[in-house]
């Protein structure tokens, strides 16, 4: 009877999950508050009257990349320039000091990975999935965070680590994601990306990648249109996530199975609804 046949798509018709790509700040770990404190301590050291409150920082996070964030802030709050400096060189010098300060604070603060991050990365590795990092921060900041939160060989876990040093166009541009997909030689619809900001979500979605957003207090109000899931975190067994957008297919925490479902891999068997007699 045709109506109750189950159609199984053959392998080359099914999109298979190949890779997970992680943003860093706010996604792998709750680092934005440490960034904010580092910015403010550096401003004080440079004698600047600037103070980025949490409320102001929420708005400033709409600019990806700390140096550009400082430079744009300068336009509205022009500082007394030291001799021989222009806005660009002064912003770069301030940002360099902030980056060195941030590294110290990250280590002293023992900032840990967000719940579920290590579990998901290990599960992905165990299933042979490829891993990438797509971030607007500096490679040195990624190394500081992961040197203190992952085993010593962690760099070999990530096939591509794309940072603000290689990718000049920052999020919401899709450039960083397009770069990783190209380097990996895979299709964007075989990937799930993890982000925490509107810019990050825009960057991945416009690269054709499904996104899982894990929000925090700096970004929970952001507009995440186009995201597959918006959650308060990855969750863990016994610690279910809270969903604010999207369909988790009954899952209560993010695992590889859920990622496979998001790319459509596990929908390969499409049970046809029995046509009701009265049709
Ligand atoms: C987050 C950013 C970064 C940080 C500050 O990067 O936009 O600019 O806020 O770090 P992502 P820097 O979410 O892409 O990881 O000062 O090093 O930019």
Are 264 and 14 in contact by the 8 Å Cβ rule? The answer is yes
Identify whether the C-beta of residue 217 lies closer than 8 Å to the C-beta of residue 224: no
Atom of ligand 1 nearest to the CA of 25: 15
Phi, psi at residue 99, to the nearest 5°?
A: -65, -40
**Cα–ligand 1 centroid distance for 257 (angstroms):** 29
> Between the CA of residue 260 and those of 17, 50, 181, 273, what are the distances in Å?
6, 46, 17, 23
Summarised one tens digit per residue, pLDDT across range 162-216 is 999 999 999 999 999 999 999 999 999 999 999 999 999 999 999 999 999 999 9
Average pLDDT along the chain: 93
Nearest partner of 13 among 269, 273, 271, judged by Cα:
269
Q: Give φ, ψ of 110 to 5 degrees.
A: 50, 50
- At residue 271, the pLDDT reads 53
- Ligand 1 atom with the smallest distance to the CA of 38 is 16
Distance CA 142, CA 104 (A): 13
* pLDDT score recorded for residue 278: 46
Q: Are 189 and 21 in contact (CB under 8 A)?
A: no
Which residue's CA lies nearest to atom 17 of ligand 1?
A: 137
Instruction: Say how many Å lie between the CA of residue 23 and the centre of ligand 1.
Output: 9
Length of the chain: 279
Token digits of residue 185: 């030689």
Has residue 7 got a pLDDT over 80?
no
User: What average pLDDT does this structure show over 234-252?
Assistant: 97
25 labelled catalytic: yes
| Share of residues in the chain with pLDDT > 70 (%) | 92
**How far is ligand 1, taken at its centre, from the CA of residue 199, in Å?**
11
Predicted confidence at residue 8, as pLDDT, reads 63
Partners of 22 in the beta sheet? 133, 194
| Longest Cα–Cα distance in the chain | 85
Residues 6 or more apart from 108 whose CB is under 8 A from it? none
Whole-number Å distance between alpha carbons of 213 and 190: 17
Q: What is the pLDDT of residues 93-107, one digit of tens each?
A: 999 999 999 999 999
Indicate whether 275 pLDDT > 70: no
Q: Is residue 266 pLDDT above 50, yes or no?
A: yes
Minimum mean pLDDT range among 10-19, 26-35, 78-87, 189-198: 10-19
Question: For residue 37, how far is its CA from the centre of ligand 1 (angstroms)?
Answer: 13
Rounded average pLDDT over 238-243: 97
Query: For atom 7 of ligand 1, which residue has the closest CA?
Result: 64
From the list 11, 12, 25, 30, the catalytic residue is: 25
Residues with CB under 6 A from ligand 1: 23-26, 32, 35, 64-66, 99, 135-138, 141, 171, 197, 200
* pLDDT, position 198: 97
CA of 64 to the centre of ligand 1 (A): 6
113-167 pLDDT tens trace:
999 999 999 999 999 999 999 999 999 999 999 999 999 999 999 999 999 999 9
pLDDT at 276 > cutoff 90: no
Catalytic position from the list 4, 11, 12, 23: 23
Q: What is the mean pLDDT of residues 13-17?
A: 88
267, pLDDT greater than 50: yes
């Amino acid at each position: 009877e045709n109506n109750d046949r189950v159609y199984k798509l053959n392998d080359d018709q099914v999109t298979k999950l190949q890779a997970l790509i992680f943003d860093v700040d706010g996604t792998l770990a709750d680092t934005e508050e440490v960034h904010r404190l580092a910015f403010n301590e550096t401003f004080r050291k440079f004698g600047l009257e600037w103070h980025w409150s949490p409320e102001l920082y929420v708005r400033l996070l709409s600019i990806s990349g700390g140096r550009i964030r400082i430079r744009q802030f300068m336009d509205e709050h022009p500082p007394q320039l030291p001799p021989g400096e222009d806005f660009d060189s002064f912003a770069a010098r301030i940002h360099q000091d902030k980056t060195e300060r941030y590294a110290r604070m990250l280590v002293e603060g023992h900032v840990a990975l967000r719940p579920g991050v290590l579990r998901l990365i290990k599960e992905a590795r165990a299933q042979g999935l490829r891993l990438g990092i797509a971030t607007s921060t500096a490679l040195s900041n990624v190394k500081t965070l992961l040197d203190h939160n992952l085993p010593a060989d962690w760099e070999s876990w990530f096939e591509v680590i794309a940072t603000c040093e290689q990718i000049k166009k920052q999020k919401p541009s899709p450039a960083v994601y397009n770069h990783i997909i190209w380097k990996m030689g895979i299709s964007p619809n075989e990937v799930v990306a993890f982000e925490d900001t509107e810019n990050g979500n825009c960057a991945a979605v416009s690269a054709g990648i499904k996104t899982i957003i894990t929000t925090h207090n700096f970004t929970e109000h952001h507009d995440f249109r186009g995201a597959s899931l918006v959650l308060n975190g990855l969750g863990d067994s016994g610690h279910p996530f809270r969903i604010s957008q999207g369909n988790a297919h009954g899952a209560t925490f993010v695992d590889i199975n859920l990622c496979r479902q998001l790319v459509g891999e596990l929908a390969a068997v499409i049970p046809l609804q029995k046509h009701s007699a009265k049709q």
